Structures are given as C-alpha cells and as structure tokens.
Structure 1
Amino acid sequence: MMKHRLFWPLMVLVVLLLFNLIYSPDFFSIKMRDGHLYGSLIDILNFGSPLILVAIGMTLVIATGGIDLSVGSVVAITGAMACLSISRANDQNGLVAVLGAVGIALVLSAALGLWNGFLVARIGIQPIIATLILMVAGRGIAQLITNGQIITVLSPKYQYIGAGSLLTLPFSIFIVAAMFVIASLLTRKTALGLFIEAVGCKPTASRLAGVRSRTVMLAVYMFCGLCAGIAGLLLSSNVSSADGNNAGLWYELDAILAVVIGGTSLTGGRFYLAGTLVGALIIQTLTTTIYMVGVPPEITLVVKALVVLAVCLVQSEKFRGLLRGRPKAGPLQTANPEVKRHA
C-alpha cells in the first residue's frame, strides 16, 4: 500500500487537514446557509478550482516532455478579454453578451495554446523558451487589454461562473469535475493517452512508429491553453473584475509543483491526473493553512517552498532509503555471493 504512487501525497494532504482541525476545531464543519454549503473544505475546493484546471492541462504538456510557463499570462489575458467584452456591451447582464465574451475568451486561450504548440512542434524551439516568450509578452498583452486599469463589470450572469452555486455547491467545482472527466476519458479510454506517453518517452521512435507526434504536441498545448482560459474566467468572474497585472501570477509554478507532487515526471512519459488533483489540493490546503495560522506575508513563500520540498523528499524512495540507513546498491552489489564472485 505504501508503494502506491498516491499514498504519500494523500498522507500529506491528510496531515495538513488534521493540523488545521487541531488548530481550528471547526475546520471540518459545513453549514447550510441560504441554500448553499459553506465551510473551509468547500472553500478549498472552490478557491483551488483555477489551480486544478491549470494543473490538468500542465500534466498533459509535461507528459510529452514539455512545459508551459505561459499559463499564468493566459489566465490574465482571457479574464481581461472577457471583462472587456462585457463592459463594452449595451446590456452587461445579457445572456448573449456573457456567452459571447466567454466564447471569445476561450477561443483566444485555445489560440494562445496553439501558438505555443506551433513554436515547439513546428519551429522546434525548446518548450521552456517558447512558452517563456508568451509568459513575458502575455502579461503585457493583458495590461494592454485593460489599459493598465482594473476592469470592473456588473453582470450577475457572468459572476455566476466563478461565484454561483449549483446543487448547494460552488459552480466552479462542477466545471473542474467536467474538465477532469473529459481529460481522463480522452487519455485513458482512447489511444490519445498512449500517444502522449509515447511522445514523452521517445519522440523520434514514436514518430517512426506512425504516431503524429507534432499533432499530439499541438493538441496538448492547445488543451493546456484552454484549461488556463477557463481558470481565467473563474478568477475574473469570482470578483467581477480583471487585473492584467496580478491575475494568475505564479500559477505556472504552482501548477508544475502540483504535477510533480502528483507523481508525474518532468522528463515526460507516464502521467497521473488523479495525482495532479491531489497535488493541487495539497497546495491549496497549504495556502489556506498559511493564511489561517497567520504566517507573516514576507515569509509565506519560504514556508510554502519548505513544505513542498518536504513533500517531494517524502515521495523519494532514495531519500527514504537513506533515512532507513540502506544505501542504494551499486551495479556489482548483490545478495548472492556466487554472483558477486563471478562478477
């Protein structure tokens, strides 16, 4: 059981939740108010929804051996574009205006992801450099869209996306669940998952075997951009405004950490969407814990980094072996003396 890839991430999540329960005895309490459920656990799921979405897309990109540093900028761009479209509509709360703004934002996010995929798959630029271009330029594009200001919209229909409720639960949870199910079905019930892992393990060999590796890479980068776009809609609709400077800031780093904590290797190949989900919940729970305990803002990132480092060390079999005092066997070390003598 301890060898299961989700064992240690789940244990870390349980420890964080138990710590919060000890610090605040009503941490697990969930109350019904005006037909909606409220509580710390609900808040973790609600506020962690954008990060989970970005991490799902990042998982598939990393599985191909790439990386996407531009997701935070895509979050800012899509939120800014949606709010700008609604603010210019005659009726900000009109269904046509809201759906049009959401459609424009999602198409734009998919196009930005396709641009990253084009630079990586077609032009041959290293993924970290190709996405770094949009990471830097994208933040400036978002500020150009908002004209350096915070765009505020008055649209209850748009606000419902990030702050509404369905069946007593935040609507954002259902959006995340739908995207997770779609990604799981596409990668585990079709050949797409196998193609992604093949491209991540041996891109040249997969291409010689008939896998259209460039098409697969274009698809995963576009999907990652789409996930970031939906996250941008959740963030901007939750506060009914768009901030091109701060929206989605450092989301790319949190998403990468969530993927790594979930057990997906940065070198590509096998990926675990369920592990990514647990990793994102760990990061959001950790953020909630830091704010609840009252850690000074100037050392918040340091505390977060130390906890993430501890999680990664706990997951490492080599590190656990060192703690148990069992050095890793070399190529000639074996328990059979005869084999050792002949070697």
Structure 2
Amino acid sequence: MATDTAPLRRRFGLPRLVQDYGVYAAVAALVAYNAVFTPNFLDSGNLRTQLVQVAPVVIVALGMALVIGSEGIDLSVGSVMALAAAIIPLYLGFGVWPSIAMALIAGVFAGLFNGVLVAVVGLQPIVATLALLVAGRGLALVFADGQLKQLHNPDLLALGSDDVAGVPIVVLVALALTVVAAFLVRSTSYGRQLTAVGGNRAAASLAGLPVRRILIVTYILCGVFAAVAGVLATSRLTASDPSTIGNLIELSAITAVVVGGTPLTGGRIRIVGTVAGALVMQLVRATLIKHDLPDSTAQMAQAVIILAAVYVARERRTR
C-alpha cells in the first residue's frame, strides 16, 4: 500500500529543521569553536563583554520580532533609541526614574505614531517607519541641541555598569524582556491574535479580530523596547549622544529576527530563536575580529548568513 510521506517531509524536511533548530546549532558550534581556538574566550570578563554588547540588540530585536510577526517592519527603532537618549538629560533633574519614564513615554508615542500610520492610515510599514527613522533622529538632535551631553547621575550610570549576583543589569533586563515577550506570544490572546493577523490579515478581520488595535499595540511595544535599549545604551556610554546611539541597530535587529527563524511574511514569531539569532551575529563578528580579520569581513559574513536564512525560509514555504 502506498503511503503519503508528504506530511513527514514537511515536518522533518531539511529546510524545516534548519529554520527551527539551525540557529541553536550555530550558537553551539561558534561557542565550541571559540572555546578551543580563541584564547581567553571563556574568561568571565570576555563573556561579560559579549553579553553586554549584544543585550541592546536583543531588546530591540524582541520588539522587531513582534512587528515582523504581524507582517510588518520597523525601521525607526534606532531613532527611537536616540530620542530616548536625548530626553533623559532633560528630566534628569527630577530624578533618574522620572527621566527614564519620560524616555519610555517617548517610545510609546513613537510606536503609536507608527501604528496609526500602518493600521489606520494604511501606509506600508516600511514607508511609515522610514518617516520616523528620519524625523525621530532629527528631533532627538533638536532636543540635545546637536551636542553630546555627559551624564554624571550615579543611579543612571549604575544601570550600564553594575551587576546583580554577578550578572550585568543590562543582561538581566534583556532576559526579563525576553520572558515578557515569550509570555505575550505564547500565553495571551494578544499573541494568538497577532500571529493570526500576521498570517492572514484579511481573514483575521473577517473573523472579527481587532486588527487595528493589535497592530497599534504591536508597534507601541516595539517603540517601548527600543526606548529601553536607548536608556541602557545611554547609561553604558555615560553620555547622551543622539547622533550615534542606535545607528543601524534596525539592521542588526531585523537580522537577528530572520536568522532566529521568524519569517518576514509574518504569522509566526520565534522569541527564543530571535535571542539566539542575535547571539549568532555577535559571535560571528567577535570570532572574526579576535582572529585579526577586519570588521568588513564580519559584515560580509553576516550578509551571507542573512541570505542563507532568507533562502531557507523560502524553501520551507514552498515545500
């Protein structure tokens, strides 16, 4: 009797396995390689440096994963980071927490702006967020008078330099937001509705889902995550510098999401995979640099990884 093996091929085919588990295998392989061939890679100081460097990318990528899961994109996250950085000094005289709160509120309004343009006005996400990519950093430079502002508040600077039980605060924040994002996606009606909207927006609307509200909330969350990353980047830099904070981080975030297995076509969100994707890109860059290869080589390697991830995702869709 003939047996239809198509369902098994779809479930266990190479593209499916690579997209589902390839990023974790890549992290393990890179760690193993560096443990053997890179001097002092496993030293606590080096591991701390790698984690601290990747933490802002992870945070931004988590918000990006939600947006991409809705079949959208957000090119403005770097500018939102810069906007948060510019706002902190303006309110630091009222205390560190009011200044952070105002920075996060800026993230809310940035996300609301993007969400309304996408969900209500009907602009393409790449066009809507491109507007804030340009205007957001310009506004940040206006708030900062175009100048770098050195910060001296010890409570603010502690966010970027202190540890809790030996773990840097920036890493703990990234871990906490990973748990929050995973909970939203896997355990709430919002997460289920978000993947439904990303999978087929017209069908979701016909089914009575509040598509506009879901999209607006998603872009707001992305804006808040970017603002958090901006606060942490500012505390690490010990200065508010809107001209450099968040530059090109949108590309790193999108890369982490794609490499982590979330398809650009939406309808599926891999939170843990996104974190692993950010780790892969960080480890690739660190590995090449530690072996005396120029940063341009690392950038080309990352480009190859992106193309491979997109190709695997396409192959999976066509099977």
Return the TM-score normalized by structure 1: 0.83
Alignment match, 2:4: none
Q: 1:312 to 1:130 in 2, by over 3 A?
A: closer
* Equivalent position amino acid for 1:115 in 2: F
Look up the match of 1:50.
56
Contact persistence 1:64–1:199 (CA under 8 A)? yes
**Higher deviation after alignment, 166-175 or 128-137:** 166-175
The Cα offsets for residues 255-306 of structure 1, whole Å up to 9 and x where unpaired, read as: 1111111111111101111111110111122232233223334554334323
Q: 2:87 aligns with which of 75, 81, 84?
A: 81
Q: Which residue of 1 aligns with 2:266?
A: 268
1:13 matched to which residue of 2?
27
* 1:259-298 correspondence to structure 2 within 5 Å: 259-298=257-296
The answer for unaligned runs of 5 or more in structure 2 is 1-11
Aligned to 1:60: 66
C-alpha displacement of 1:161:
1.4
SS of residue paired to 1:267: coil
Determine which of 36, 41, 46 is the counterpart of 1:27. Answer: 41
Is 1:122 equivalent to 2:120 in the alignment? yes
- What RMSD in Å do the two structures reach over aligned CA positions? 2.1
Distance in 2 between residues matched to 1:194 and 1:56, nearest whole Å: 17
Offset at 1:308? Answer: 3.9
Q: Which residue of 2 aligns with 1:35?
A: none
The one-letter amino acid of 1:137's match is A
* Cα distance in 1 for residues equivalent to 2:148 and 2:38: 35
**Residue 197 of structure 2 aligns to which amino acid in structure 1?**
V
Determine if the alignment matches structure 1 residue 257 to structure 2 residue 255: yes
From 89, 93, 97, the equivalent of 2:95 is: 97
Which whole-Å CA distance do the structure 2 matches of 1:99 and 1:182 have between them?
21
Partner of 1:70: 76
Q: How has the CA–CA distance of structure 1 residues 297 and 286 changed in structure 2, closer, same or farther, with 3 Å as cutoff?
A: closer
Q: Deviations over 1:158-181 (max 9, x none)?
A: 011122111111011111111111
Question: How has the CA–CA distance of structure 1 residues 81 and 290 changed in structure 2, closer, same or farther, with 3 Å as cutoff?
Answer: farther
What is the percent sequence identity of the aligned residues? 35
> How many Å separate the matches in 1 of 2:259 and 2:299?
17
**Structure number with higher helix proportion:** 2
- Helix, strand or coil at the partner of 1:77: helix
1:157 corresponds in structure 2 to 155
**How far 1:5 moved relative to its partner?**
4.1
Return closer, same or farther for 1:129/1:311 CA change in 2, 3 Å cut-off. closer
Per the alignment, do residues 203 and 307 of structure 1 end up closer, same or farther by CA in structure 2, a change over 3 Å counting? closer
Normalization by structure 2: what TM-score?
0.89
Map 1:197-236 → 2, pairs under 5 A: 197-236=195-234
Moved more, 220-229 or 170-179: 170-179
Letter in 1 for 2:286: T
1:41 aligns to 2:47 (yes or no): yes
Aligned counterpart, 2:7: none
- Distance of 1:107 and 1:246 partners within structure 2: 21
Contact 2:69–2:194, Cα closer than 8 Å, also in 1: yes
How far off its partner does 1:316 sit? 5.5
Q: CA deviation at 1:18?
A: 2.7
Q: Specify the alignment match of 1:335 in structure 2.
A: none
**For structure 1, which runs of at least 5 residues remain unmatched after alignment?**
31-38, 90-95, 320-327, 330-343
Q: C-alpha deviations, 1:61-114, integer Å up to 9, x for none?
A: 01111100000110111012113332xx2xxxxxx5111110100011111011
Structure 1 runs of 4+ with >4 Å offset = 297-300, 310-313, 315-319
Judged with a 3 Å threshold, the aligned counterparts in structure 2 of structure 1 residues 183 and 318 are, in CA distance, closer, same or farther, namely closer
Question: In 2, Cα distance between the equivalents of 1:163 and 1:148?
Answer: 26
